[in-house]
Every structure is written in C-alpha cells, then in structure tokens.
Amino acid sequence: MSGTATETGAAAVTYSRVMLKISGEALMGDQGFGLHPPTVARIAQEVKSVRDLGVEICMVIGGGNIFRGLQGSAQGMERTTADYMGMLATVMNALAMQSALEEIGVFTRVISAIPMDQVCEPYIRRRAVRHLEKKRVCIFAAGTGNPYFTTDTAATLRASEMACQAIFKGTKVDGVYDKDPKKHADAKRYDEVTYDEVLEKHLGVMDATAIALARDNGLPIIVFSLDEPGGFRGILAGEGTYTRVQG
C-alpha cells in the first residue's frame, strides 16, 4: 500500500488519516430494522482500536436501517422530501455511534451538513480538521446536505475535504467480487481493481458519483469485511483480506 507511515509504539500503520464508511444496515445486527446496541458497541471498539494506533478517523454512516430515500421515493413519496428524511436517519445513527464511542473513552464530534445546533455541530471544514488534529473521531452526518446524493458520495466528498489518505468501506464481505459471493460459489474476489473497472463492470462498490469523485482526487477505496474482528486495524497494519480500488 502507498501512504504516509505513522509509528505508534511497535505498530507501523499505513495511513495517518482515513475515512470509514459503513452502511446503516451494519448497525442492525441480526435485526431487520433499527439499531442493535451490541453491534454498535462492537463497531465502536473496532474504531477505538484504530484510533489507539494514532490514526485520525472520519466516519460516515448511512441511514438505511431507519429510512432510505430511494425506497420512499419508489413508494410514491416526493424524492426531495424522502432524501431529507434519509439524511435525518443518518444523524440518528451518528448520535448512536457517538454515544458508543464516548462510552469507551473516545472523544467524538457529530458534524451535520444540516444545522441542528442542539444535537450536533454544523459542518465547518476548518473546525472539523482541528477536531481530527486533536484525535477526536469526526462523524459526518446528513450526507452532503443535498437531496439526490448518497452517503457514499458524502463520504468521498468529506474524505477529500479532510485530506484523508484512503476511504475504508466496511461491508458484509471481504472485498469486491465479480458477483454476489453469497449466491455464487464461483464468485471471484479482486485484490485490486481500477475505478474505471468498477464503473464499467457495475461492481457495486459505491455509486458512480462517488467512484468518479474518488478517481478525480486519487483517493483509494479499501473494501473490507466489517464482520471480521480486528479487520479494520489489521488492514491498517498491512494485514488481512480486502480489495483496493485505485487508478
């Protein structure tokens, strides 16, 4: 991997500032809806283990466990309204993750693209950078603040603004496959794939806008399994199984 090495004790990590993007569904556990506190706590421990290496961490969490704008739109709701409702769902998830992280001694800031001063900070780039420099985990909520943009695009945008060195996309599988590995036993996992291949082959890593933005800013995307204990920390130490999307 390329990146700036940071020494923390005996561990050498590949990146010093990263974006972790996870779906809202990742917080459901085995439930079909909502938040599963033990799952949120487990992910918080994963984040803490990386923060303890000295890595500065940004997070973006989707809202699909509570409300997904596209699904609401498909059921007849006006798209802009549905998307704003989805943004509010991401704020709820961000607050849940903040609570879980602070419970284990990790200072965090929830930073919303839609101002709501009673519960979180408004997005101000310089202030967010300062929080990262102080080793606070910054959880960016409410997407980009605009309808028609996904949280994948929001994660790529914020990662670019924060000068992150990579986006870590936590999923249910350990990388990018040519087809669904849960349905096809002969599915092939890629060790590396280019941005253009992701778009041309419709590999479903992120939406096209997010991939194009990452490509234009030379921002690598690391796709890994969030269900693998210690996987996030292991990859930063140069271990584990994952797919790297790059130019």
Digit-coded pLDDT (tens) for 160-201: 999 999 999 999 899 999 988 888 989 999 999 999 999 999
Cβ burial, residue 184 (10 Å; 0-12/13-18/19+) = exposed
Domain annotation for the chain: domains and CATH numbers: 6-246 (3.40.1160.10)
Query: b/e map of 35-56 (b: 16 or more CB within 10 Å)?
Result: bbeebbbebbebbbbbbebebb
127-164 per-position pLDDT tens digit: 999 999 999 999 999 999 999 999 999 999 999 999 99
- Do 72 and 87 meet the contact criterion of CB atoms below 8 Å apart? no
* Cut 0.85: pTM above it: yes
